[in-house]
Chain A
C-alpha cells in the first residue's frame, strides 16, 4: 500500500508533471525539425509512431491520472481542475482506441474505374502464385532506417528492408561476357537525357528505347556492315554465319532479310556502342558515324554523346537506402525496397514494380507496396470537377461525383473539400487529385474509420469547459503571498 502511495505521489506530483511535459516538448520540437528536413512519413516513422514517443505519452497519461487521484476526495475549488484532467484522460483513451482499431488510408479513383481497395500507411510484401487463389502478405515494420529482417516467409527469406530508397546504377563485372553496355547522353537546348542500353542479359537495361518520337536500337557491332554501303538502301540480307550484310540479289537458307526503307520514315537511330547509324533525309543516305566526338543528329537539334562503353562490365540498377529530403520527391512516388532470397537466388523487390519469379514449374509474384484493405463495397469516379479562380490556373474548389455500389443498390454522392461522405462508420474526404492530361483528372479520397472520435470530442469539450471553469469561474482561495496555484 505504501509502495502504491509512493508511486501515486511520484506520478501525480507537479514536479513530475513539469518534467514530463518538458521531455514531451523536446520530442515534439525534434519531430517538427525532422519533418521539415525529411518529410512527414519519415518523421512519423522516426518520432511520432516510435515506441519511445508512445512511452512518454503514457507517462503523461499517468501524470494526468494520478494528479487527479491524489487530490481526491473532491474539493469544490478543484472542480475545474478535475474536469480538465478528466477531459485529457478521455482524449488519451480516445486516441488509444483510434491507434489500436482505427483505419486511415487513401483511395485512388481513376475515371470510370471501379475500386474497393484502400491503401494505408504501413508497407507489406505480397506473394502470390499463378493458378492459386489468395495471396500471402507479410507486414513490414514501420521503421525509418534500414531493417535487417532475416525472416522466412512462404519459402522466401526476407533480408534487408529499405523503407526509403533510390535506385542507383551499379556496374557489375562479367569478364567472361563480351556483350556490351553503353551509356549515352542525348541533348538539345531545351532538354538533356542520359540513358543506358545493354545487350547483357543480367543488365537492368534493354536494347531498345523510345524517347518521344525517336527510336533507339542497340545492336551487335557486326550489324554495322549493313550501313557501310552509304548510297543505297533497300532490302538487306544478313548472313549470321559470315556476319555479312548485303543488298538482296540472292539469298541462302538461314539468311535474315529486313527492309531499311521502313526505318527511313521516322527518326530511328541504330547504335553499335562506338558507332551509330541514322538516315539523313536531306541526302537520302544512311550515315554511319563514330561516337568518338559528339554526333549532331538531324532531328530537333539533338546531339548524341557516348559517355561510357563497357564490355567486361554491365549496368544494373540497385536500390540504396537514402533518407528522404523534404520538398524533393513527392511522397507517393518514394521508393521502398526489400531484399528477397528465393530458390537460391537473391534479388530486390521494389515498390516501383513487382517481380515475377519463374521456378520452372510456376510463376511466383512478389509485390511490395502499401498495405491494402478491401472495403465491402466499391466506388467509381463518375466525374471530377475542378473550378479555378477566374483568370488563373489555381484550384478554387474541386469535387468528385462518385457512385457507391452497395448490396441494396447504387448510390450517387458528391464529395468536395469541407463536405465529406459518411457511410457505415467510414468517412470519405476529398484529399487531392491526379492530373491525367487529356484524360482529365483522377481523384484521391482520404478514407477514415475512427472509433475513438466520440471520446476525443467529449474529452475536448470537457478540457475547454474545465479550463474556463478553473481559470475564470472558481472563487480564489486566499493564499499566502508568493504562491499562486497553477
Chain B
C-alpha cells in the first residue's frame, strides 16, 4: 500500500509536467534482463508488443512508451491503452466469439474469457494447430499480465559490487524514491541512476542491439539489392550494378557481425537467420561464379534470391522470428554451428541459384524464343550451380553426422531433418546421374531442376512447419504451412504453364496428317 501511495504521489507530481514526461522513448536505452539476455528496453518493449499484438506500435505510440505505461498499471496508474491481442486460427476466433475477419481481440475481453481457453485446452488433447494457437493466445495473455504486474520490466541494481536485475515492483521502493526527491522527477533520476550504475559496471555493449535495431540494415540491404538488380538489367555497363551489389554485401556482412556480437554465436540458429544467411550466401556464390564463368546470370539470380529472402525477413515475422534468444544446450558449440549449418545453408543457396536459372529458362522458352544452343548453355549454367550444391550439401551432411556423433552418440539417426537433407542430395544426384542417360535430356533436365528445389524447401521449411518432430525442431514456429503450400502450388503452376504449350497451326496440321495416314 505504501508503495502505491509513494508512486501515485510521484506520478501526481509528474502530472504537473504531463504524464508523458516519464514514459517516453528516452527509456529506449535502459538496460533490462529478459529472455535470458541483457538488452535495451526498446528491444524488450518492441518484441513484447509484436508478440502480443502483431504490431510494434500501439496507434502512434512507440513500443517503449506503451510498455512503460502498461508496466505502471500495476501501481494503480490509469491509462487508456487497450492492446489488441492477436488471434489467427479460425476455430480460436469462434471460441472467443470473434468475427472471422477480425484479427485480434481486446485484452480486457480476453481476460474475461481466460477460463474458456483453459477448459478448451483440457478438452483438446491432440497437438494440432488449434491447440497450438490456443497455447499461443494463452502465452500472449500471460505476457500482458506479466507486464501489467510490473514483473516483465527488470531494472539493474548493484548489490555487493555485482549487477542483478529486479522486477519493477521490487525496484520501486520508498527509500529509492526518497533518495531521488531532490530532482524534478524522482522516477527519471531513479532510472537514470540505475542505467548509469549498470554502464559503470558492465559498459555500453548492450546498446549495440539498439543501434542494430534502429539502423534496420536488412531493409537497406533490400533497397540496395533492388537497385543493383535494376541497374544490371537496365544498363549495359555492369559497374553500377557491381557497385551496388558490393554495397549490399558489405552492409549484410556488417549486420551479421553486429548480430554475432550481440548473440555471441554464428547467425544460423533459427529460421530467420538461415533465411538471412541463404540470401547472403546466394549473392556471394552468385557473384563468385559469375566472376569465374564471366556470365552475369549467376549474380542476377543471387540478387533475386537475396531480395526474396530479405522480403521474407521483413514481412513474414509470424513465421520467422527476428529476436535473438539463448540457445538450447546442444547448439552452444560455435565450431559445429559455424561449419555444419553454414555449409548446408550455402548448399541451399546454390540450389536456389539453379532453381531461379531453371525457372528463368522455362519462362523465356515459353514466352520468348530460346534456341537449342541457348537451352544447352542455360543447362550448363544450371549444372555449375548444382556442382556447388551437391558438394556443399554432401559436406554439410557429413559435418552434421560428425556433430551428431559427438553430441548424441550416433552418426545417423534418420531424424526428419537429416533424412530430408539426404533426400535433397539424392534427388539432385538422381537428376545428375539421369542426365547421362536418355531419360533426362536438356528438355527434361531444366524443369526437373526447377521441381527438385521443392525438396530443398521441404527439408528447410517443411520439416519445421509440417513435420515438426525429431531432434532438429529448434526453430519451430507456426504459420509456414500456408507459405509452403503457396510456394509448391506456384512452382507447379509455372511448370504446367511452361511445359504445356498451346498447339500452333503447324502442330494441328501435322496432327491431322498423322490421323489421315492412319485412317487412309
Restricting to A448-463, which residues have a CB under 8 Å from any CB of B?
Answer: 448, 450, 453, 456-457, 460, 463
Chain B residues with CB under 8 A of A464:
391, 394-395, 398
Which stretch, A24-32, A227-235, A253-261, A274-282, touches the partner chain B? Answer: A24-32
Tell me if B442 counts as interface (CB < 8 A to partner A).
Answer: yes
Tell me if A395 counts as interface (CB < 8 A to partner B).
Answer: yes
Tell me if A375 counts as interface (CB < 8 A to partner B).
Answer: no
- Minimum CB–CB distance from B385 to chain A (whole Å) comes to 11
B433: contacting residue among A18, A32, A394, CB under 8 A: A18
Cβ-defined contact, A467 with B430, below 8 A? no
Tell me if A165 counts as interface (CB < 8 A to partner B).
Answer: no
Cβ-defined contact, A35 with B332, below 8 A? no
Which stretch, B62-70, B202-210, B298-306, B399-407, touches the partner chain A? Answer: B399-407
Which stretch, B179-187, B235-243, B421-429, touches the partner chain A? Answer: B421-429
Bound form: Cα–Cα A18–B429 in Å: 8
Cβ-defined contact, A390 with B36, below 8 A? yes
Bound form: Cα–Cα A388–B433 in Å: 50
Tell me if A36 counts as interface (CB < 8 A to partner B).
Answer: yes
A429: contacting residue among B125, B379, B395, B409, CB under 8 A: B409
Q: Mark A454-486, 1 if CB is under 8 A from B, else 0.
A: 001100100110011001100000000111111
A389: contacting residue among B126, B326, B383, B466, CB under 8 A: B326
- Minimum CB–CB distance from A263 to chain B (whole Å) comes to 33
Tell me if B127 counts as interface (CB < 8 A to partner A).
Answer: yes
Cβ-defined contact, A18 with B409, below 8 A? no
- Minimum CB–CB distance from A203 to chain B (whole Å) comes to 27
Chain B residues with CB under 8 A of A328:
125-127
Bound form: Cα–Cα A456–B397 in Å: 13
Q: Mark A23-45, 1 if CB is under 8 A from B, else 0.
A: 01100110111011001100110
Bound form: Cα–Cα A133–B34 in Å: 59
Chain B residues with CB under 8 A of A460:
398, 401-402
A483 and B409 contact, Cβ closer than 8 Å, known pairs A22-B430, A467-B391, A471-B390: no
Bound form: Cα–Cα A265–B236 in Å: 95
Cβ-defined contact, B432 with A390, below 8 A? no
Bound form: Cα–Cα A15–B438 in Å: 9
Q: Which residue of B lies closest to A485 (CB)?
A: B436
Chain B residues with CB under 8 A of A417:
329-330, 332, 407
Tell me if A320 counts as interface (CB < 8 A to partner B).
Answer: no
Chain B residues with CB under 8 A of A418:
329-330, 332-333, 336, 406-407
Restricting to A75-100, which residues have a CB under 8 Å from any CB of B?
Answer: 95
Cβ-defined contact, B436 with A463, below 8 A? no
Tell me if B441 counts as interface (CB < 8 A to partner A).
Answer: yes
A396 and B408 contact, Cβ closer than 8 Å, known pairs A32-B467, A36-B416: no
Tell me if B220 counts as interface (CB < 8 A to partner A).
Answer: no
Tell me if A392 counts as interface (CB < 8 A to partner B).
Answer: yes
Chain B residues with CB under 8 A of A396:
36, 326, 329, 332
B427: contacting residue among A17, A25, A327, CB under 8 A: A25
Cβ-defined contact, B410 with A104, below 8 A? yes
Bound form: Cα–Cα A399–B307 in Å: 43
Tell me if A301 counts as interface (CB < 8 A to partner B).
Answer: no
Cβ-defined contact, A21 with B467, below 8 A? no
Tell me if A381 counts as interface (CB < 8 A to partner B).
Answer: no
- Minimum CB–CB distance from B264 to chain A (whole Å) comes to 12
Bound form: Cα–Cα A417–B426 in Å: 31
Tell me if B515 counts as interface (CB < 8 A to partner A).
Answer: no
Q: Which residue of A lies closest to B455 (CB)?
A: A25
Chain B residues with CB under 8 A of A398:
329
Cβ-defined contact, B36 with A389, below 8 A? yes
Tell me if A325 counts as interface (CB < 8 A to partner B).
Answer: yes
Bound form: Cα–Cα A456–B467 in Å: 28
Chain A residues with CB under 8 A of B35:
389, 391-392
Q: Mark B345-379, 1 if CB is under 8 A from A, else 0.
A: 00000000000000000000000000001001001
Bound form: Cα–Cα A327–B442 in Å: 45
Restricting to A364-392, which residues have a CB under 8 Å from any CB of B?
Answer: 388-392
Chain B residues with CB under 8 A of A484:
379-380, 383, 435-436
Cβ-defined contact, A472 with B387, below 8 A? yes
Tell me if A397 counts as interface (CB < 8 A to partner B).
Answer: yes
- Minimum CB–CB distance from A331 to chain B (whole Å) comes to 11
Q: Mark A198-228, 1 if CB is under 8 A from B, else 0.
A: 0000000000000000000000000000000
- Minimum CB–CB distance from A321 to chain B (whole Å) comes to 19
Tell me if A14 counts as interface (CB < 8 A to partner B).
Answer: yes
Tell me the dominant secondary structure on chain B's binding face: helix
Cβ-defined contact, A420 with B33, below 8 A? no
Bound form: Cα–Cα A395–B426 in Å: 36
Tell me if B437 counts as interface (CB < 8 A to partner A).
Answer: yes
Chain B residues with CB under 8 A of A391:
33-36, 154, 165
Tell me if B469 counts as interface (CB < 8 A to partner A).
Answer: yes
Interface size, chain A (Cβ < 8 Å): 63
- Minimum CB–CB distance from B117 to chain A (whole Å) comes to 15
Chain A residues with CB under 8 A of B412:
95
Bound form: Cα–Cα A21–B318 in Å: 37
Tell me if B414 counts as interface (CB < 8 A to partner A).
Answer: yes
Q: How large is the interface on B (under 10, 10 to 19, 20 to 34, 35 or more residues)?
A: 35 or more
Tell me if A447 counts as interface (CB < 8 A to partner B).
Answer: yes
Chain A residues with CB under 8 A of B437:
14-15, 18
Chain B residues with CB under 8 A of A44:
414
Cβ-defined contact, B419 with A28, below 8 A? yes
Cβ-defined contact, A39 with B469, below 8 A? yes
Cβ-defined contact, B433 with A24, below 8 A? no
- Minimum CB–CB distance from B81 to chain A (whole Å) comes to 25
Cβ-defined contact, A35 with B469, below 8 A? yes
Tell me if A268 counts as interface (CB < 8 A to partner B).
Answer: no
Tell me if B8 counts as interface (CB < 8 A to partner A).
Answer: no
Tell me if B434 counts as interface (CB < 8 A to partner A).
Answer: yes
Q: Which residue of B lies closest to A36 (CB)?
A: B467
- Minimum CB–CB distance from B229 to chain A (whole Å) comes to 28
Q: Which residue of A lies closest to B383 (CB)?
A: A484
Tell me if B1 counts as interface (CB < 8 A to partner A).
Answer: no
Cβ-defined contact, A467 with B394, below 8 A? yes
- Minimum CB–CB distance from A311 to chain B (whole Å) comes to 33
A17 and B416 contact, Cβ closer than 8 Å, known pairs A36-B469, A389-B36, A418-B333: no
Chain A residues with CB under 8 A of B434:
14-15, 18, 486
A21 and B429 contact, Cβ closer than 8 Å, known pairs A40-B470, A325-B126, A418-B406: yes
Chain B residues with CB under 8 A of A28:
419-420, 422-423, 426
Chain B residues with CB under 8 A of A341:
none
Bound form: Cα–Cα A386–B465 in Å: 30
Tell me if A247 counts as interface (CB < 8 A to partner B).
Answer: no
Cβ-defined contact, B414 with A43, below 8 A? yes
Chain A residues with CB under 8 A of B495:
none
A36 and B126 contact, Cβ closer than 8 Å, known pairs A15-B437, A464-B395, A486-B435: no
Tell me if A427 counts as interface (CB < 8 A to partner B).
Answer: yes
- Minimum CB–CB distance from A48 to chain B (whole Å) comes to 5
Cβ-defined contact, A429 with B433, below 8 A? no
A481: contacting residue among B37, B376, B419, B436, CB under 8 A: B376
Chain A residues with CB under 8 A of B379:
484
Bound form: Cα–Cα A17–B379 in Å: 22
Q: Which residue of A lies closest to B372 (CB)?
A: A482
Chain A residues with CB under 8 A of B394:
463-464, 467
Cβ-defined contact, B383 with A327, below 8 A? no
- Minimum CB–CB distance from B431 to chain A (whole Å) comes to 8
Cβ-defined contact, B433 with A21, below 8 A? yes
Binding site for A on B (CB under 8 A): 33-38, 125-127, 154, 165, 326, 328-330, 332-333, 336, 373, 376, 379-380, 383, 387, 390-391, 394-395, 398, 401-402, 405-412, 414, 416, 419-420, 422-423, 426-427, 429-430, 432-437, 439, 441-442, 463, 466-470
Between-chain CB contacts (< 8 Å), 9 pairs: A15-B434, A21-B426, A21-B433, A32-B420, A448-B410, A456-B401, A468-B391, A472-B387, A472-B391
Other contacts beyond A418-B406, A427-B409, A463-B394: 15, CB < 8 A: A17-B433, A31-B414, A35-B467, A40-B470, A389-B36, A390-B165, A391-B33, A391-B34, A395-B328, A418-B407, A420-B407, A460-B401, A484-B435, A485-B436, A486-B433
